[in-house]
Structure 1
Amino acid sequence: MKSLTLFKKSLLSTAVLVGTMTLVGCASSVPAGKYADGIHDVSAKGKKSVITLTVEVKNGHIVDVKTKSHKETESLYLNAERLLSKVLANNGHEGIDAVSGATYSSNGILEAINSLPRADGSKPEFVAVGAKDDSAGEDFKLKWSIQPQLGLLKGDYYYQEARFRQGHMGSVAIVTELNNANNVIFAEFNESGRPNYYTRLYQGVPKRMSEYNFSMGKKKGTAWVQSALTMEKLMVEQDKLTFELNPDFDPTLGNKLKEPNRLKYAGIDVVAGASNSIQQSMVPLTAKIHAQINGEGTHERFYQHAEKLVDAKGNWTGVTAMLRIVVDSQTKQITKAHYDEIFADEKVQIKDASQKKFYRQSKYESINYVEPARIGFNVMIDALNGHLQQGGSLFLIDDLPATGDTGSYAATGFTKRSNAWDNYLAQAEILYTQMRQDGVIVKHSK
């Protein structure tokens, strides 16, 4: 009996020892915690202030996170603060999107978490994120480019516009080589929605660099601008501004995309996304320009300069500045001017997380872009065009919207100078120098 008891104790001791060894073995295989233990105050810049969080870490894991201080807009920060529970559950900020409408505050929170001291001593670089619903939903598979040609472009200028099909406004700009009208070097078609368009957002809105292309693409599988780009490339590569009528045209086949006889003109069976716009607007307008080229010609000159905007380190911000000026070579006066800032074709190329949703759009044509100066970007540029058409200086623009700090949004509609004006002035200097060298513009005061 005694020997049996000793045997049982021996088995129990062995079991305990094996169990202890097993636990030790398991513990040694568990990876070290991600963060350094302790209570840490971490901070990062939000939109209006520094955001400071207090984070408690045990065994390498975040067990508590609270806001210690901030001076953000309270309503926006309350939205962004919802990320704290996600950080806690995720044990970090990786893979968490910003809260829509509170992108800056969200990134301040996530960057602060990124600065938590790591158990392995590493200091990973923080990459700003956008809201999950940026660009109005799921990833968009269609591809097109709206990027302008970089550098200087100049030539003889032709332009036609007219309303068509229920009131849409179509326009075509053609630039030919100086004194060589047979060489088309630039073609651009644009269209604005009719004033009574069934989608109110797109009433009077240019389609080329606005959200319209995404909206149409999701409905019909192709973006409007893709057709325009295809036709423009054809015109430039083949110096072609006129098209023969299709002798077998059958309008009843209009919706049959693979039927060549559905199109009014021969040789352009590549425009499924905007066949009505191409057939009823672009082709007739370019035919008018062709007639002008072979008739009275033009004395207007086109000058464009486009340049990628870079940060303090010389890296592209994902935004390209573009200035166009049309000048009458006889009167040497500006007849048309347009400045725009165009976002990159892909989200990843845009450094400012809050602006990623505007990819393949421009500040002027986007319906959702919010100008920090608290006034519409399109209003600023339309005012610039009017100013220059009336003989104003390219450089003395203090009478234009958002060219100075007013400190009174309620009274004036904006609160601070838009940095777009500084970008504009840089492009204006480049074009002005070239136009003066060419002798096509009067002297402008600086």
Structure 2
Amino acid sequence: MKKFRKILSLALAGLMIAGLAACGTKTPTTPTETATFKAGTYDGEADGFHGKIKVKVTVTATEITDIKVEHTETEGLGDKAVEKIVEMVKVNTSLKVDAVTGATYSSKGILEAITAALKAAGADVEKLKAKEIASGETKGDVEKTADVIVIGGGGAGLAAAVSAHQNGAKVIVVEKMSRLGGNTMISGSAYNAADSSRQSALTMTALEKQTVENIIAGTYEDALVKTWQETLKKEWTEYLASGKTTLFDSPSLHKLQTYLGGDKKGTPELIDVFADNAYPAIEWLESLGMEFKDYVFTVLGGLWNRAHKPEKPLGTGFMETYENYLEKNKADIEVILDTTAKEFIVKDGAVVGVACEGKNGKVTLNATKGVVLATGGFGANVEMRNEYNTVLWPDLTNVKTTNHTGATGDGIVMAEAVDAKLMGMEYIQLLPMGDPVTGSLSGNIEQGVQNRIFVNKEGVRFVDEGARRDTMTKALMEQTDAYMWVIVDKNSYPTGDTKNNFNETIDDLVAAGRAFKADTLEDLAKQIGVDPVAFVKSVEDFNKAVDGAAKDEFGRTLFDKKIDTAPFYAGARVPTVHHTMGGVSINANAQVIDANGNVIKGLYAAGEVTGGLHGTNRLGGNALADINVFGRIAGKNAATMK
């Protein structure tokens, strides 16, 4: 997440009136004007998603002439909400402005800050909140036709749109939100793929060797999975014979860890395609202009050092890459926002389009070749979560989510209406890494799995911090108030301006009270309210395991550095809903399968709207690989298959 300091001014120089710089300076009104404000410049502030949003609003007696904003909202998401709302308020002299979908906290913050300033200017705030804004849009029904229709403008949908166009199709992307991005935009951006080049910088540990050997020695029933086992055994034998000491990895190991990580419930045919194409999809993204850092790391619940990190924070690198391609090819790719897909259009047993509802009427989109469903999961739909949450978790009604507000399962419902088979709907993934206030991933101070520990409110470790996501979350739910502290030291943050995986500096997090800093473990324990004796012992025991002087009490196998160098840091975390593994069934060609096991002609799907790949539990870092691998496949096949 890119956190930045930005000054925004939307005023035109010609509109500035001399003397307005000083607060409270009055400008006389003409007899025909009705005074709305006391002319001058006024300050206002409110809480945004990442801290205070501060504004300076300049008004005449009847107009808002300038709004300057200082904020630290997310680049590509929160900042866009701020810009849009500032423009709408200023142009319309109205506070009756809708929040920007997907950026609720940023929208609320900027509106509250502007409201405070206008209140200081003597405005009738309630009257401004009731003032209508003219849309200026043409009303009426619309019908359009393209070769491929893509439903959903997140990562999977845009990967499909780009791929379809590369394979000769004219494309329309329809998105219900007022922006593109979906969950991809607000993701942590980790992308799993076996990559010998980047992994050659890492040294294989004895515990990692044992992990590979345990996987090879496992018992597998599925014929395809057995071929992975045999391939891995051969690769491992060759690795040992070579005398190499660098980190071992291969698509075969990735497949087996994905399969085992989902309790052998994942569909082997999908896993096979997924892992074989994960790195080629990175190369595809790079060919489109995307840049990745030259190292890999282990993301939370990823189980192995194969997560790639984009150069740009959050999902901005992915989205900018897709959107740049769309912009260059806008003659062939149309994007329609604020338009909700309602139902598929079916003719002679084939899906040939989608009926949508726009802000001003019906929108009918016809596909001459295929339709790609890429609407994401249902993590933000509490009712739907509760309907399907029958296996893994207690009541999730009051559990927040990392998902954007549009992740409500609409596409799954649409697909079910045309007899698509649903699978794995009961498998809902929670993380132990939610912000206690928002449920989001922002504010998380971990930099990677190897160099941090978790302690509960008593200051005691309670789980293997390198385990599966469901394992860690279940353990957290058993702790006091289901609340924990992530503990790191200077090894994770060499300087105060070092940023976390969401582009937030540790100094800013400490200043905002979202993290705590101390020069001793005892002082840190005091600041976060845990027992100092138990806390210090937890850290010391962990450090002994890092040294190999003692076996880790929770069986942890992923280590790097000890936590022994001041300053020490702590950040609070709680369980949060993150991913829904279930969805519509697809085959290796990304074609949607019906309840009888047959292909639904003309309908393809990719991303979190699908089920089958991850089984009961998704490995951290597999989602962004999933959306690009199967988005690319879905787009190509929608454009070319008959």
TM-score using structure 1 length = 0.33
Compare relative contact order (CA 8 Å, sep 6+) and give the higher one, 1 or 2.
2
Is the radius of gyration larger for structure 1 or structure 2? Answer: 1
